[in-house]
């Protein structure tokens, strides 16, 4: 075995959108391509333990299968248009059904297999100016919003299009009731906050929507069971926008919170820089709903029914990204801390089926050692550690803040480890997977208990893992970037630091981030108008004159989550005061550079990180 190299990134394959159709198993594979600086996407079929290409193109994606299991639809995207294609699964016959300049947000077969429902949106067409009338004016990954709304359409197999809904309300998601042909619609009305949405039933007969009462907040993953029961995730946001979502059922006008008594977090929030594409994480089956949930740095499959008995179905030292059923057998895509995504099956016990990422697996990838540290206040904090071949080490801080590190594959971590660095990563207060109390502990208290946990993890790494106190670096992105900025303004114990897509000024973040007003009023408390001293007190810029740690700043010019001027403000003051700082700004990239940016930019980012830490940490060690 040889060590991982930066160029091995082009051997990675990201798996998604696993579908079972009449016993046949389909999935999608995304691969970064150096020559084109794009991702090839292919629809594949699993045959035994082998995988074969199912559709012809290299940009095929977002496949959906009808209720009969005999028809598939998928799309091809390019810069100018989107093409919807259909394929007969029995005969293999393919045809182009529809071409559009609009962006296709979601697609699903109708109940009769005679057409498809789609959410579409016109692409912005800007010239020398923008007319902005809506808030938010932009959204990360989508850019400035055009002054046209969304459409919900029905596309028949003869190519005819019927518009069912259109206007200024943003249509976020939908699901079809197979028993009545009604449609559940998740939408965000114009001028609603970015964290708020509602869900209603679009009647198949009169086309009117009846919204479910008292359901306003974070709504996602609507799906119907065969008997007409609607399931969806709903975050009430009573305590915070970051409280855990719950699974609700809705049938015959009766709304039930199935997880009311359980402090568990549906969805996979385990960080990974090695996944992309659509992921099904809520699946009704045999009268119960199965779902992915994050528990302690791992994501497994759980189930619950009308009796509200929560059961663990598939769990272990791995993270499930998506799954589907063939009979009672579960097929799922999962990853671990030292193995990228592969396909597994579960029929009483789990069995790995594929070796799609065998090229990466053949590299020398260490299994991270799991540890638990008792913090100074008695709370248990979980972490992972990979020993390096040299003296230097790097502490990684995740974003969110309500996400987690754990049994997810991080190419970045293994690359740093292959360069000789020991890598430490953990789930301090604010992280997901340990209950609402643990996650919401930092609300309005950024830089307090979370900062203490991070320093105590660093102390633990020195005292219990045998690392050197004098040659440790720190890196983090998004909220993790905020924590890096905060840390270097409060201590000089780290020899070098990297801050990635970070927050430095809570006041300007409030006014300019796509989620700023709601996020910061929730996480900081109030607004800068009524709580200015607190907002400034939680801004790393207030403490930047204390910084003695060499700092690399990484940011993207089209990051609308943590706008690039957060980096500019930080860089300007560090330069003016003579601190050691370097900044790299990526044109055309957004907040998701490290996990979805252009392949060459992702590689360049990794090159800058490894070079910075190599220069600063290996010198005189």
- Of 77-81, 101-105, 260-264, the one with minimum mean pLDDT is 77-81
> In the chain, pLDDT over 90 holds for what percent of residues?
89
| Average pLDDT of the residues of the chain | 95
Q: At residue 16, does pLDDT exceed 60? A: yes
Could you tell me the pLDDT band of residue 621, with boundaries at 50, 70 and 90? Answer: very low
Q: At residue 240, does pLDDT exceed 60? A: yes
Segment 70-74 shows an average pLDDT of 96
* Residues facing 510 on adjacent strands: none
137-179 per-position pLDDT tens digit: 888 988 887 666 789 999 999 999 999 999 888 999 999 999 8
pTM for the model? 0.96
> Is the CB of residue 12 less than 8 Å from the CB of residue 340?
yes
Segment 357-363 shows an average pLDDT of 96
> Is the CB of residue 416 less than 8 Å from the CB of residue 610?
yes
Q: In terms of pLDDT, which residue wins out, 205 or 186?
A: 186
pLDDT at 34: 97
3-class secondary structure, 41: strand
Distance of CA 483 to the CA centre of its chain: 20
pLDDT at 619: 65
Q: At residue 612, does pLDDT exceed 50? A: yes
User: In sequence order, what are the residues at sequence separation of 6 or more whose Cβ sits closer than 8 angstroms to the Cβ of residue 129?
Assistant: none
CA nearest to 269, candidates 245, 237, 240: 245
Ordered by start, the domain boundaries in the chain are 369-504+539-617
Q: Tell me the C-alpha distance between 18 and 46, whole Å.
A: 10
> Is the CB of residue 21 less than 8 Å from the CB of residue 41?
no
CA nearest to 116, candidates 107, 124, 125: 107
398-455 per-position pLDDT tens digit: 999 999 999 999 999 999 999 999 999 999 999 999 999 999 999 999 999 999 999 9
3-class secondary structure, 25: strand
Segment 583-587 shows an average pLDDT of 98
pLDDT at 179: 87
The CATH number assigned to the domain with range 369-504+539-617 reads: 3.40.50.1820
Could you tell me the pLDDT band of residue 228, with boundaries at 50, 70 and 90? Answer: very high
Find where tokens 């016993």 sit: 23
Question: Both tokens of residue 535?
Answer: 């907002």
480-525 per-position pLDDT tens digit: 999 999 999 999 999 999 999 999 999 999 999 999 999 999 999 9
Q: Tell me the C-alpha distance between 507 and 517, whole Å.
A: 10
Helix residue spans in 321-381 (DSSP H): 358-361
pLDDT at 147: 60
Could you tell me the pLDDT band of residue 273, with boundaries at 50, 70 and 90? Answer: very high
3-class secondary structure, 465: coil
E strands, 189-297, where? 197-202, 209-224, 230-235, 246-251, 254-257, 265-266, 282-285, 288-295
> Is the CB of residue 307 less than 8 Å from the CB of residue 333?
no
E strands, 417-504, where? 422-427, 472-477, 496-500
Q: At residue 337, does pLDDT exceed 90? A: yes
3-class secondary structure, 448: coil
105-127 per-position pLDDT tens digit: 999 999 999 999 999 998 777 67
- Residues 296-329 as b or e (16 or more Cβ within 10 Å = b): bbbbbbbbbeeeeeeeeebbeebbbbbbbeeeee
């Amino acid at each position: 075995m040889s060590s991982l190299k930066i160029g091995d990134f082009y051997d990675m394959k990201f798996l998604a959108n696993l579908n079972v159709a009449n016993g046949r198993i389909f999935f999608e594979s995304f691969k970064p391509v150096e020559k084109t600086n794009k991702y090839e996407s292919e629809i594949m079929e699993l045959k035994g333990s082998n995988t074969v290409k199912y559709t012809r193109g290299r940009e095929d994606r977002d496949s959906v299968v009808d209720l009969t299991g005999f028809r598939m639809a998928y799309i091809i995207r390019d810069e100018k248009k989107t093409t919807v294609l259909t394929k007969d699964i029995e005969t293999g016959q393919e045809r182009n059904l529809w071409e559009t300049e609009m962006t296709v947000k979601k697609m699903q077969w109708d109940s009769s297999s005679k057409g498809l429902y789609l959410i579409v949106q016109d692409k912005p067409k800007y010239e020398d100016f923008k007319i902005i009338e809506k808030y938010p004016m932009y959204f990360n990954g989508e850019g400035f919003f055009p002054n046209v709304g969304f459409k919900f359409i029905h596309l028949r197999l003869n190519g005819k299009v019927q518009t069912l809904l259109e206007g200024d309300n943003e249509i976020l998601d939908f699901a079809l009731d197979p028993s009545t042909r009604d449609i559940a619609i998740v939408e965000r009305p114009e001028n609603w906050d970015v964290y708020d949405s509602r869900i209603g039933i679009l009647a198949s007969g009169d086309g009117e929507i009846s919204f479910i009462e008292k359901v306003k907040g974070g709504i996602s993953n609507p799906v119907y069971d065969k008997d007409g029961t609607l399931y969806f995730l709903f975050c009430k946001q009573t305590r915070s926008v970051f409280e855990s979502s719950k699974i609700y059922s809705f049938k015959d006008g009766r709304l039930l919170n199935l997880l009311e008594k359980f402090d568990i977090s549906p969805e996979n929030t385990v960080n990974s820089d090695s996944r992309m594409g659509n992921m099904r994480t809520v699946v009704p089956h045999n009268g119960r709903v199965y779902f992915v949930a994050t528990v302690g740095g791992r994501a497994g499959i759980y189930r619950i029914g009308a009796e509200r008995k929560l059961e663990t179905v598939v769990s272990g030292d791995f993270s499930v990204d998506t799954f589907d059923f063939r009979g009672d057998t579960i097929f799922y895509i999962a990853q671990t801390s030292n193995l990228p995504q592969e396909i597994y099956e579960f029929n009483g016990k789990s069995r790995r089926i594929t070796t799609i990422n065998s090229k990466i697996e053949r590299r020398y990838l260490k299994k991270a050692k799991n540890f638990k540290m008792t913090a100074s206040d008695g709370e248990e904090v979980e972490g992972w550690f990979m020993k390096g071949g040299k003296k230097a080490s790097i502490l990684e801080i995740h974003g969110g803040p309500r996400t987690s590190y754990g049994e997810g594959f991080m190419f970045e971590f293994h690359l740093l480890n292959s360069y000789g660095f020991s890598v430490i990563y953990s789930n301090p207060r604010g992280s997901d997977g340990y209950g609402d109390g643990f996650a919401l502990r930092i609300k309005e208290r950024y830089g307090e208990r979370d900062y203490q946990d991070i320093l105590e993890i660093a102390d633990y790494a020195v005292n219990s893992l045998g690392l050197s106190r004098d040659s440790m670096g720190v890196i983090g992105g998004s909220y993790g970037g905020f924590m890096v900025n905060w840390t270097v303004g409060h201590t000089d114990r780290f020899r070098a630091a990297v801050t990635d897509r970070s927050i430095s000024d809570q006041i300007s973040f409030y006014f300019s981030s796509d989620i700023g007003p709601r996020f910061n009023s929730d996480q900081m408390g109030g607004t800068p108008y009524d709580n200015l001293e607190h907002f400034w007190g939680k801004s790393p810029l207030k403490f930047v004159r204390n910084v003695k740690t060499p700092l690399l700043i990484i940011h993207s010019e089209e990051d609308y989550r943590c706008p690039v001027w957060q980096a500019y403000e930080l860089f300007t003051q560090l330069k003016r005061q003579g601190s050691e700082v370097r900044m790299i700004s990526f044109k055309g990239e957004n907040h998701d550079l490290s996990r979805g940016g252009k392949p060459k930019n992702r590689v360049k980012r990794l090159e800058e990180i490894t070079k910075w830490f190599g220069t600063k940490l290996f010198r005189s060690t």
